[in-house]
């Protein structure tokens, strides 16, 4: 990567990110945290915690957030969303795009203030996009939405993911009224 970063040629950025993602895919049979079995495993943190991968993801996702317009906050369920949220935030700051960032804990903290949402306070009506590394069933995105809307009154506009496994999650999210965008789909990586 050049010292000025990858900004500029979107097709080149997508190709570089796709190559990184391809290296983190396994077609072996595995059991997911949902209990579901799949023959398409993507280890998203191998890309999102890679310095170059993080920047590439942030660039493309921030482009989509800006294209959507009106988004005031970005975040999602820890830990898949954490590095993605941070990458988007750093690049948003560099571009002058005002965004609040947050993480949703799986459970409220048992100490301190007992918060389940970490980050700046989201006011009622704040327009939010939930991010995640992978969509399988859509459960983590729906859980994030439930917590954010219940605890803050913010309005979740949609979901943005790195990879859609194409195993029904997108459809489940759309049935719940969420607009869903993924940078890549399982079918993008099939031989």
Q: Hey, CA dihedral for 161, 165, 36, 40, is it positive or negative? A: negative
Q: Does 5 reside within a domain?
A: no
Q: Does 24 reside within a domain?
A: yes
CB atoms within 10 A of CB 107: 7
- CATH code at position 41: 3.40.50.2020
Task: State pLDDT tens for residues 32-44.
Answer: 877 888 888 888 8
Given a cut of 60, whether residue 4 has pLDDT beyond it is: no
Task: State pLDDT tens for residues 95-114.
Answer: 999 999 999 998 877 676 66
Q: Does 51 reside within a domain?
A: yes
Q: Does 64 reside within a domain?
A: yes
Q: Does 1 reside within a domain?
A: no
Domain that includes residue 58, residue range: 10-189
Q: Is the pTM of this model over 0.85?
A: yes
Biggest distance spanned by C-alpha atoms of the chain? 50
Task: State pLDDT tens for residues 143-160.
Answer: 999 999 999 999 999 999
Number of domains observed in the structure of the chain:
1
Q: Does 42 reside within a domain?
A: yes
């Amino acid at each position: 990567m050049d010292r000025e970063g990858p900004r500029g040629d979107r097709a080149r950025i997508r190709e570089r990110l796709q190559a990184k993602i391809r290296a983190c895919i396994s077609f072996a049979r595995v059991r997911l945290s949902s209990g579901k079995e799949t023959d398409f495993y993507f280890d998203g943190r191998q890309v999102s915690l890679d310095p170059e991968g993080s920047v590439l993801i942030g660039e493309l996702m921030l482009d989509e957030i800006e294209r959507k317009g009106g988004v005031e906050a970005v975040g999602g369920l820890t830990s898949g969303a954490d590095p993605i949220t941070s990458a988007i935030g750093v690049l948003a700051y560099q571009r002058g795009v005002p965004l609040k960032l947050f993480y949703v804990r799986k459970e409220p903290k048992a100490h301190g203030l007992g918060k389940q949402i970490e980050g700046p306070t989201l006011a009622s009506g704040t327009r939010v996009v939930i991010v995640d590394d992978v969509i399988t069933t859509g459960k983590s995105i729906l859980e994030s939405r439930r917590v954010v809307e219940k605890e803050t009154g913010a309005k979740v506009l949609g979901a943005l993911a790195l990879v859609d496994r194409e195993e029904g999650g997108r459809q489940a999210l759309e049935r719940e009224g969420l607009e869903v965008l993924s940078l890549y789909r399982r079918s993008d990586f099939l031989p």
